[in-house]
Amino acid sequence: MCGIIGYTGPRVAAPILVEGLRRLEYRGYDSAGISVEHNRTLSMYKRAGKIADLRSHVPPNVPGTVGIGHTRWATHGGVTDANAHPHMDASGAIAIVHNGIVENYLQLKSRLEKEGCTFRSETDSEVIAHLVASFYKGDLEAAVKETVLLIKGTYGIVAMHAAEPGRLVGARNGSPLVLGIGEGEMFLASDVTAIIAHTRQVVYLEDGEVVSFTADTYTTTNLRNQVIDKQVDHVNWELEEIEKAGYTHFMAKEIHDQPEAIRRALSGRIDHEYNTGHLGGLNLSNRELLDINRIKILAAGTSYHAGMVAGYVLETLARIPATAELASELRYRNPIVERNSLYFAVSQSGETADTLYAMREIQRKGGRVLGICNVVGSTIPRESDGGVYIHSGPEIAVASTKAFTSQLTAFYLFALIMGRMRDLSHDAGRQFVRALEAVPAQIEQILANKAPLQEMARKYSRHENFLFLGRGINYPVALEAALKLKEVSYIHAEGYSAAEIKHGPIALINEETPSFFIVTDDGLRDKVINNMKEVKARSGPVIALAVEGDKEVASIADDVYFVPPAMELMYPFLMAVPTQLFAYYCALERGCNVDQPRNLAKSVTVE
């Protein structure tokens, strides 16, 4: 989604703003711009296209030490220079940048036009600049507060006024804002990656909060002008973690991060004496956990697929009903919230609007929601009733990879806790722990044997349609594999239960449509092998992910990749990695923008 950066301090602002926007590129965008104040006059430079286009548009040595910047992911209005942010009022004395959606912008725009305003863009955001101007009586903070009280929808706003040099005002409702506290300088951004090159001391704004700041001071208040004392957090991600660490793409780096990321997610969270898990932050006593008789997981995209796997594991270990639901559907279904249900909101970014709003709806109905998130201090973990950080480190590539397996890790630990409180024996718990702790090394084995997957991609990436098929706990892995291929290579790929192929999809089988089977040595193996034969009988190319030594699968498939043998429940970890690599290599073969696929954003903070 859109990115925001604001700066005020002793240094020339323009290069800091442009570099901050560059660090936000991973969020996905289609235009960018900055505005800088100098001698009580605002200048503005904005362009459709990439940061490189903006950089070439900004004159060298633009004076001014306070400014704002924005990367836009179009929601209202096309990708044009005029629709890029910042937006100014008619006088050019006010500039604002905005993340989010002003749902009532047409009414506001009509009212402003009646008052004589002339709009230069098609965006909803521009109404904010004109409203701030209409309320401005010498106090920018007050004018911003009056403005946001009229907005229905979501916003992360930063505003500046030529008459208040050195001052910026930020306001947040639904779109994240974080204040960076430097040495004699201040920053305000949509996420910490834009500012940790300058400071690690940050203050996260909550919904309904406003921050007014200059180079040396800041005040946080609510919309009723009550001062709010905010905690200052320290960001412990190293900047180089955010760089590619020698890999060609962030996606490749993050796929290879997975063994260490899983080790981090496990670190300090296994009790080897009782062969159970230990998760701080659940905010639930053992007695309360024992009372839980249903679990519902709400998420979107890859996180939803992780939730589906979690459902299988929870039902297997804890023997309580556990299902994943699309957050976007659950929210509007007038969900039935039962007293002893426990909900999980799963989100790498912690900012996905669909998941956030579904969580709020469940909480409004009295449900307890725990967050399974990666980004510390993001909205979902801050608003949830507790939860687990997956500690997978910054995930920059739009296509989620390490977050998926780290989310699984958190859920597997929770399932172990719940299982060992119920029927899972001490010995069964030990076997599960041993199998889970073996996963990172098994993934390292897979990562050391990438060539067959690269070869498969060379052979099959010309195809325009794929089926991904798995059963049982591998069914959501097939869905995730299809999503990965779709989003990075733009190949149409559908994930299906292998059993379902005969109920329709088999009509698609021909020489041009490869079927990618995930087949493990579980109780469904023979049935999946039958499905493979059904495809072969219709001249469909068959690719298989199988367990080392499975000669029968190798004799049927046109191409097979073997993973190390493991406990049945562990195969989602081991099967996910080859499918991530296959998608990555296909994207390379097709010359796609692997880290920033077209039309996609890393965090979808609008519905």
At which residue do the structure tokens 């349609």 appear?
465
Among this protein's residues, is 586 annotated catalytic? Answer: no
- Contact letters (x/-) for ligand AGP, 356-395, by CB under 6 A? ----------------------------------------
Which one among 99, 147, 154, 302 touches ligand AGP, defined by CB under 6 A? 302
Is residue 602 among the annotated active site residues? yes
Q: Which candidate in 109, 253, 486, 602 is catalytic?
A: 602
Determine if 5 is a binding residue for ligand AGP (CB under 6 A). no
Minimum gap (Å) between residue 119 Cβ and ligand AGP: 31
Instruction: Indicate whether 579 belongs to the interface with ligand AGP (CB under 6 A).
Output: no
Residue 512, token pair as written in the block: 């041009």
d(CA 520, CA 536): 19
Cα atoms in the Cβ-side hemisphere of radius 13 Å centred on 288? 8
Residues 505 to 544 in contact with ligand AGP, rule: CB under 6 A: none
DSSP letter at 227 equals B
Q: What angle do CA 559, 562, 567 make, to 5 degrees?
A: 145
| Among residues 199, 400, 474, 513, the one that binds ligand AGP under rule CB under 6 A | 400
Closer CB to ligand AGP, 136 or 204, in the complex: 204
Give the binding-site size for ligand AGP (rule: CB under 6 A): 15
Residues 6+ apart with CB under 8 A from 312: 472, 473, 476, 569
For the bound state, the minimum distance from the C-beta of residue 208 to ligand AGP, rounded and expressed in Å, comes to 22
Q: Does 125 interact with ligand AGP (rule: CB under 6 A)? A: no
β-strand pairing of 233-234 with 322-326: unpaired
Residue nearest to ligand AGP (CB): 301
435, 313 Cβ separation under 8 angstroms: no
Judged by CB under 6 A, does residue 157 bind ligand AGP? no
Return the structure tokens found at 573: 């970890």
Shortest Å, Cβ 372 to ligand AGP: 9
Closest to ligand AGP by CB, 173 vs 352, is 352
Tokens 């081991």 belong to: 574
303 binds ligand AGP (CB under 6 A): yes
Beta-strand (E) ranges in 230-367? 233-234, 270-271, 276-277, 294-299, 322-326, 341-347
Q: Which stretch binds ligand AGP (CB under 6 A): 31-39, 227-235, 398-406, 528-536?
A: 398-406
Q: For residues 147 and 348, which CB has a smaller minimum distance to ligand AGP in the complex? A: 348
Among residues 167, 169, 179, 144, the alpha carbon closest in space to that of 215 is found at: 167
The smaller minimum CB distance to ligand AGP, of residues 190 and 531, is found at: 190
Strands 341-347 and 94-99: unpaired
Token pair of 221, please? 């208040």
Within residues 339-358, the interface with ligand AGP by CB under 6 A covers 347-349, 352, 355
Binder of ligand AGP out of 192, 369, 399, 606 (CB under 6 A): 399
Q: Active site residue: 2, 117, 373, 586, which one?
A: 2
398 binds ligand AGP (CB under 6 A): yes
CA separation, residue 122 to residues 195, 289, 400 (Å):
30, 51, 32
Pair 174, 153: CB distance under 8 Å: yes
Which residue, 276 or 349, is less far from ligand AGP as judged by CB? 349
Q: What angle do CA 297, 299, 302 make, to 5 degrees?
A: 115
Q: Which residues 473-492 are close enough to bind ligand AGP by CB under 6 A?
A: 487
| 308 counts as binding ligand AGP under rule CB under 6 A | no
In this structure, the strands spanning 178-181 and 201-204 are antiparallel
CA dist list (Å): 131 to 5, 84, 158? 21, 18, 14
Rg, the chain, Cα only: 25
Min dist. Cβ of residue 346 to ligand AGP (A): 7
Q: According to the binding rule CB under 6 A, does residue 300 interact with ligand AGP? A: yes
Looking at 392, 474, 596, 603, which residue binds ligand AGP (CB under 6 A)?
A: 603
Least distance (Å) from ligand AGP to the CB of residue 127? 28
Task: Report the relative pairing of strands 322-326 and 41-48 from DSSP bridges.
Answer: unpaired
Residue ranges binding ligand AGP (CB under 6 A): 300-303, 347-349, 352, 355, 398-400, 487, 603-604
Which are the catalytic amino acids?
A: 2, 602
